[in-house]
A = this chain, B = another copy of it.
Amino acid sequence: MIFLRKTVAIVGATGIAGQQFIVSLQNHKWFKIKKLAASEKSAGRSYQEAIQNPNSGTMRWWSPERPNKEILNMEVENAGNLDAEEVDIVFSAVESDAALSLEPRYAKTTPVISTASAFRYDEDVPILVPGVNLEHTELIRIQKRNRSWQGFVTPIPNCTVTGLVIALKPIYDAFGLDKVLMTSMQAVSGAGRSPGVLSLDIQDNIIPFIPKEEEKVQKEALKILGKLNIGKVDNANLKVSATCTRVNVSDGHTESVFLSTKKPCSVEEVTEELRNFGKDFVRIGLPSAPREMIVVHEDQDRPQPRIDRDIYNGMATSVGRIRKDNVLENGIKFVLLSHNTKMGAAKGATLIAEYLIKKGYIK
């Protein structure tokens, strides 16, 4: 099969999430970055100027992988004036407030794949997670009809949810889920750069609170694991409770999960389900897909963020320490790790885009 490369606009291109889109897309065979857009204060400047620290003259850039020359020289447009019709896809990495006004404007003509939470909770908007709920793409048709858009908006979930639902999905399907209690230890990159997490605040420390994070986890997990039912998603019938903390790790969200299944299940059965998960999705052969959706670790001291976050280019979810929990009914506990700025952000959104292209939702 031969694709013509899709042209894309990255909106919010100067922020950390936007930078991740640049890294994810600049050498991607299916996509061509045609436009970069950001807030008014960056508009009209070259991308290089826009990300320069005015005091030091140094680049505010987040990744070891740098933007290429073409990107550095591209003029940044004002997101408010972007003509979305000139591109095949808009990748939106703006804050939720901005997303609320900008994304519908783009979606009139063009598919928008977004990291913002603005539309996640709308009934006709799917929160797509690769391999987990791609049948929810069905909502796209309804959304387009409802809103008379030629394009659509599909947000990815909060980065803390991504790994969680990937690990829960095979268990949910095989044994049912009743209760999920999760404590996250989240990486500082999740807080981005403005203001981000200061070394001053997190060194030799843990911050046991992330604004709005727990609510998002609890809400989005139920929707993502929910069933499509005549044009909308019925929330999954399980209860999720989260305590989200910030630790001094650069990348990779670690989550300690205790859960109770509906049917009894052994550690071996759970392990088996996790290992086998996502094979069909992987088989599609999308360029950003991991070779396995879930990597199960047998070493007791794994997964560890520094060592395991980059497995399959940061697109795999690592699960380890799977064992019985003696407190909950049909209790199982484990630790999972998901790369919050790869699978949980731009690269995950890119994978969704690849899927939507493959399935004809994006033309």
Give the B-binding residues of A (Cβ under 8 A). 55-59, 62, 64, 179-181, 183, 185, 188-189, 193-209, 211, 218, 239-241, 243, 245, 247-250, 254, 256, 258, 299-307, 310, 320-321, 325-328, 331, 333, 335
Contact (A335, B208) CB under 8 Å given A183-B256, A200-B196, A325-B181: yes
Closest chain B residue, CB of each to CB of A185: B206
A57 to B299, CA, bound (A): 8
A64 to B240, CA, bound (A): 33
User: Is there an interface contact between B200 and A250, defined as CB atoms closer than 8 Å?
Assistant: yes
Residues of B close to A258: CB separation below 8 A: 181, 241, 243, 258
Copy total for this chain: 4
User: Is there an interface contact between B327 and A205, defined as CB atoms closer than 8 Å?
Assistant: no
A193 to B303, CA, bound (A): 21
A188 to B205, CA, bound (A): 12
Residues of B close to A249: CB separation below 8 A: 204-206, 248
A333 to B59, CA, bound (A): 22
Residues of B close to A62: CB separation below 8 A: 200
Residues of B close to A196: CB separation below 8 A: 198-200
User: Is there an interface contact between B209 and A300, defined as CB atoms closer than 8 Å?
Assistant: yes
Closest chain B residue, CB of each to CB of A192: B200
